[in-house]
Structures are given as structure tokens and as C-alpha cells.
Homo-oligomer: A and B are copies of this chain.
Amino acid sequence: MTGIDQRVAGFEGQLRDAGLRMTQQRRLILRVLAEADDHPDAKGIFTRAFAQDPTLSLSTVYRTMKLLETQGAIERHAFEDGVSRYEHADQQHHDHLIDVESGQVVEFSSPEIEALQAKIAAELGYEIVRHRLELYGRKIPAPGKRRGRR
């Protein structure tokens, strides 16, 4: 899991560079975030971290998330249910497809769509600062029924 370790190191570096203190609770939260491959919300992060350190408080999680977000270390998304979910930002840009039945989040990216967005915005006299694209879908039963896949 060196990938995770270096991700943690990256987080730490970002904080240090910003002149912030590296506390136990931040280290813990950073590790939880680095290990997450889903899109946990504050409570989820808190739960995972709390298991390691039962003195951690939820407000510290919120404060840390806000901090990391303004540092640009993580991204915050609010899907339809309204709660904020987080993911580390050390990956290329992508959008999300949410399975309406399971809540599972699938990431995807489409340069074509991005290009179209920019074109549309330009036609309206705008330049895009950021965007939000979420697809809510239902799994289609595999046609051939071939096994495997993922």
C-alpha cells in the first residue's frame, strides 16, 4: 500500500506547506481519506477514524474536511441526498454516475461532454469556472449474460 502512504505524505505536505500543524487527529483523518476508495460523508469518515481513536470528535472531521477542501487536497460533492461526500483530489477530473438502487457511485470522464459544455457556455457568453454533472441510473441486466466483467 505504498500508494496510500504516499497519498498521506502528499496530504501532510500540503498542510505543512500551508503552515498548518500536523496533529494526531489530522494524521488519522488523512489516512482514512487516503485509504477510502469510495465517496464517504463526514459521518462515514468519522466512524472509520473513531475506530482508531475514540477521542476524535465529529466537529474535528468537519473542520478538517473544510480545511482540506480549501487546500484543494480533497473534493466535496453533494449528490441528490444533500449530504457532502468527499474524495481525494489527486486524480484526474471526472464526473459521477450514481446507481439509484444501490447508491453506488461510478466515476467516468468524457472529454466530448466537457468540450460541448465549453462550447455551450461560450455561446451564452460565459466561460466555465466549474461544473457539476451527475447521472442517476439503473443497472441494465447484461445482455449476453456472459460472466466475468466488473
State whether the Cβ of A125 lies closer than 8 Å to any Cβ in chain B.
yes
Smallest beta-carbon distance A117→chain B, Å: 6
* Complexed CA–CA distance, A46 and B112 (Å): 41
Interface size for A (C-beta < 8 A) is 34
Q: A125-B140, A137-B127 are in contact. Are A110 and B99 (CB under 8 A)?
A: no
Contact indicator A138/B120 (Cβ below 8 Å) = no
State whether the Cβ of A124 lies closer than 8 Å to any Cβ in chain B.
yes
* Complexed CA–CA distance, A139 and B126 (Å): 4
Mark A81-124 against chain B: 1 for CB-CB distance below 8 A, else 0.
01000000000000001011000001010101100110011101
Among B124, B129, B138, point to the contact of A126 (Cβ < 8 A). Answer: B138
State whether the Cβ of A142 lies closer than 8 Å to any Cβ in chain B.
yes
Smallest beta-carbon distance A102→chain B, Å: 11
Mark A129-140 against chain B: 1 for CB-CB distance below 8 A, else 0.
111111111111
Q: A126-B135, A126-B138, A134-B132 are in contact. Are A116 and B112 (CB under 8 A)?
A: yes
Contact indicator A97/B116 (Cβ below 8 Å) = no
